[in-house]
């Protein structure tokens, strides 16, 4: 495979187990990810769907480096991101950013909007104070946040504004891959549409790739180039978004239901 054809992200044979049960109870290991394979090409969007506990968030945490898998490999731009030193991890962390659903919980309540966006630049020692502030304000403008809100704390912003702030914080390091873990859940439909349009515009303008995790199949069908369905930590389907919406069986599987009711999902599914 030539360099031009190299996928941006490759996940191969990823496995992850977790221990469930409180310390005073019987504890047991459960499989969160079971030999998961995934490929995201540059400038493309891959959606990951599945019932609660299918392993979607565990996959995201492993890719971004917040958790270590038990087996398998994660390659970004052709290089493994597992077992690398701190300097390389910081570089990879610049290129891969994760945006959670709970924007309020992910943002420091003590910091202003501009300080929140600046922080990743400060951590990576990029630019002086003036340059970081200018970069933060420019990024705020790009995501549709007024510079007038630069000194506001997260609790002073609306839900949609907080999610735009989270996106700005993720974008300020100029990443190549954004992982969106239920990033639009909990927002009003009109705000969801606005943020979705913003993400699509940013993808075109910046050549971004997205790993989009969601339960909302309509949003998935709108943004994704490919849909991967997880069930109990395993990839069971790879489909075109149009096929997902057209086939009620696939849609039901993606949400953890059968056409006649619950799939009877096991209690040991991954998170």
Mean pLDDT per 10-residue interval, the chain, length 271 residues:
73 86 55 92 95 90 91 94 75 84 79 95 88 95 93 93 93 95 87 92 95 90 93 92 80 60 35 44
pLDDT of residue 106: 77
Q: Residue 46 belongs to a domain with what CATH number?
A: 3.40.50.300
Q: Which domain holds residue 145?
A: 102-172
| Residue where a domain stops, chosen among 120, 149, 172 | 172
Is residue 147 assigned to a domain? yes
Is residue 87 assigned to a domain? no
Q: 262 and 187: one domain?
A: yes
Q: 183 and 265: one domain?
A: yes
Q: 202 and 270: one domain?
A: yes
Q: 156 and 188: one domain?
A: no
Q: 165 and 210: one domain?
A: no
Closest CA to 36 of 245, 187, 237, 181: 237
Q: What is the pTM of this model?
A: 0.85
Q: 187 and 260: one domain?
A: yes
| Residue where a domain stops, chosen among 116, 145, 172 | 172
CA distance 76 to 96: 9
- The SS3 assignment for 181 reads strand
Q: 181 and 245: one domain?
A: yes
Q: Are 181 and 96 in contact (CB under 8 A)?
A: no
pLDDT of residue 257: 60
Is residue 86 assigned to a domain? no
pLDDT of residue 53: 85
pLDDT of residue 100: 83
Q: What is the DSSP string of 129-159?
A: HHHHHHHHHHHHHHTT--GGGTT--GGGS-H
pLDDT of residue 252: 72
Q: 51 and 161: one domain?
A: no
**Beta strand 209-213 with 177-181: parallel, antiparallel or unpaired?**
parallel
Could you give the number of structural domains in the chain?
A: 2
Dihedral pair phi/psi, residue 251, rounded to 5°: -60, -40
């Amino acid at each position: 495979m030539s360099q031009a054809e190299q996928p941006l992200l490759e996940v191969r044979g990823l496995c992850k187990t977790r221990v469930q049960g409180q310390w005073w109870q019987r504890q047991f290991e459960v499989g969160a990810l079971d030999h998961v394979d995934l490929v995201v090409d540059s400038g493309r969007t891959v959606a990951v769907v599945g019932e609660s506990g299918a392993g979607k968030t565990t996959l995201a945490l492993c890719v971004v480096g917040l958790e270590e898998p038990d087996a398998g490999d994660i390659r970004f731009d052709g290089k493994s991101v597992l077992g690398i030193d701190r300097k390389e991890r910081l570089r990879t962390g610049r290129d891969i950013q994760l945006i959670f659903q709970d924007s309020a919980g992910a943002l420091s309540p003590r910091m202003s909007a501009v300080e929140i966006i600046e922080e990743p630049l400060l951590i990576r020692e990029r630019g002086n104070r003036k340059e970081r502030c200018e970069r933060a304000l420019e990024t705020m403008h790009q995501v549709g946040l007024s510079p007038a809100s630069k000194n506001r704390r997260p609790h002073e912003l609306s839900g949609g504004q907080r999610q735009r702030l989270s996106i700005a914080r993720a974008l300020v390091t100029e990443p190549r891959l954004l992982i969106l873990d239920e990033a639009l859940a909990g927002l009003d439909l009109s705000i969801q549409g606005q943020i979705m349009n913003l993400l699509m515009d940013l993808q075109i303008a910046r050549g971004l790739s997205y790993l989009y995790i969601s339960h909302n199949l309509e949003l998935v069908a709108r943004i994704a180039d490919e849909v991967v369905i997880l069930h109990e930590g395993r990839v069971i389907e790879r489909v075109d978004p149009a096929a997902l919406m057209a086939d009620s069986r696939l849609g039901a599987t993606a949400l953890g239901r059968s056409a006649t009711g619950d799939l009877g999902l096991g209690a040991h599914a991954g998170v």
